[in-house]
Structure 1
Amino acid sequence: MAAFCALLVATAAGCDGGAGAQPPAQRSTAPAAASGGACQLLDFAMVNAKLGLDLSVAAAATQDNTFTCVLQASGASYPDLVLSVSATTIGADIFTAMVQPKDATAVPGLGLVGYQMPTPAAASAGPGVEVGWLAGNKRIIELSLRFAPGTPDEKAAEAIPKVVELAKLIDLSSL
């Protein structure tokens, strides 16, 4: 799923996938939900109010049973917010053992079971936050916020509770 999300982020940022690549993700400055896919669970005003950002561009993609959405600021690659939703048949025990990263912290009150964790900066991206959960409607949902390169780790750490609160709102809207 990470490779698919990377493809979606590259497409949203305007990169060309080359010959044989999947069709480009839908890109829009209309309401986020107008992009379809997992963007139907997001609203720019709600996201920006919770995170203190100015995201205004949405791109959605679907592959098999996974729906993904990327929100970014107009004309900028970062920060970006990525939401992915996949149908599943697993239960909370399997989610905790197989999906939740080992170094993640549990998030009480998020879905059937949820987690949060900071993500380290990468070669072309700054630090971030990942929140994932198993929703009551048999969906694995992951929400990640990534900052620009050079952003201090403290800024990402400060964003964790905000992303968790946004995740709880998304969880309620996915019922």
Structure 2
Amino acid sequence: MPVVRRGLMAVFALSAVLVAGCDDAGASPAAKASTAPAAAAGGACQLLDFGMVNAKLGLNLGVAAGAQADNTFSCVLQASGASYPDLVLSVSTTTIGADVFASMIAPKDAAAVEGLGVAGYQMQTPAAGKAGPGVEVGWLAGNKRIIELSLRLAPGTPDDKAAEALPKVVELAKLIDLSSL
């Protein structure tokens, strides 16, 4: 679990860069916001494409920030000029197997996802802080990586919108899983 949580710390730093509206000159060298193709932002953004993400999720994300911390690569996608919705992807190398992933990494209240990596989970997440409700999908990829993909919606978004987004995020996760082989 510490590997994923370290990745989340990098993601929070990326979110701060995007929310603050820093241009590339104001961002740290490890986290730069970009309106170029998502892959150009580096980090886990290399696995994402704005067209693919927007088509799958029905969103208009167009700003990316990527980073690397130790063995974790992260990416945050947002709409231009808005903090939410945002899509967060983190990828960490690991040596664990499916049994450890299922018992130690996957949240206890998450549902299993068939056909996603070696083992996968999905769950809705409640509104928290300034973010609305969201969804999280995590999996252990066949190439020994723990991957987590989460979508946070705007504040005030009803929970049923997150429920509608969950199968779309699972489908996007399956596309990302194929691209990480």
TM-score bracket, normalised by the shorter chain, equals over 0.9
- 1:70 is the counterpart of 2:76: yes
Of 9, 26, 42, the match for 2:32: 26
3-state secondary structure, aligned to 2:20: coil
- 1:117 is the counterpart of 2:134: no
- 1:47 is the counterpart of 2:40: no
Change in Cα spacing, 1:22 to 1:96, as seen in structure 2 (3 Å) is: farther
Structure 2: distance between partners of 1:62 and 1:15 = 20
Does the 8 A contact of 1:134 with 1:141 survive in 2? Answer: yes
Of 90, 94, 100, the match for 2:96: 90
Change in Cα spacing, 1:27 to 1:15, as seen in structure 2 (3 Å) is: closer
Does the 8 A contact of 1:111 with 1:136 survive in 2? Answer: yes
Structure 1: distance between partners of 2:21 and 2:105 = 29
Of 105, 110, 116, the match for 2:111: 105
1:24-80 CA-partner distances (Å, limit 9, x unpaired): 611111000011110000000000000000000000011000000000000000000
Paired residue total: 171
Structure 1: distance between partners of 2:95 and 2:21 = 34
Which stretches of structure 1, 4 residues or more, deviate above 4 A after TM superposition? Answer: 21-24
3-state secondary structure, aligned to 1:90: coil
Structure 2: distance between partners of 1:82 and 1:131 = 10
Of 10, 13, 18, the match for 1:7: 13
Unaligned runs of 5+ in 2: none
How far off is 1:13 after superposition? 1.6
> TM-score with structure 2 length normalisation?
0.91
Structure 2: distance between partners of 1:26 and 1:45 = 20
Structure 1: distance between partners of 2:10 and 2:68 = 9
Does the 8 A contact of 1:27 with 1:59 survive in 2? Answer: yes
Of 149, 169, 172, the match for 2:155: 149
Unaligned runs of 5+ in 1: none
Letter in 2 for 1:93: D
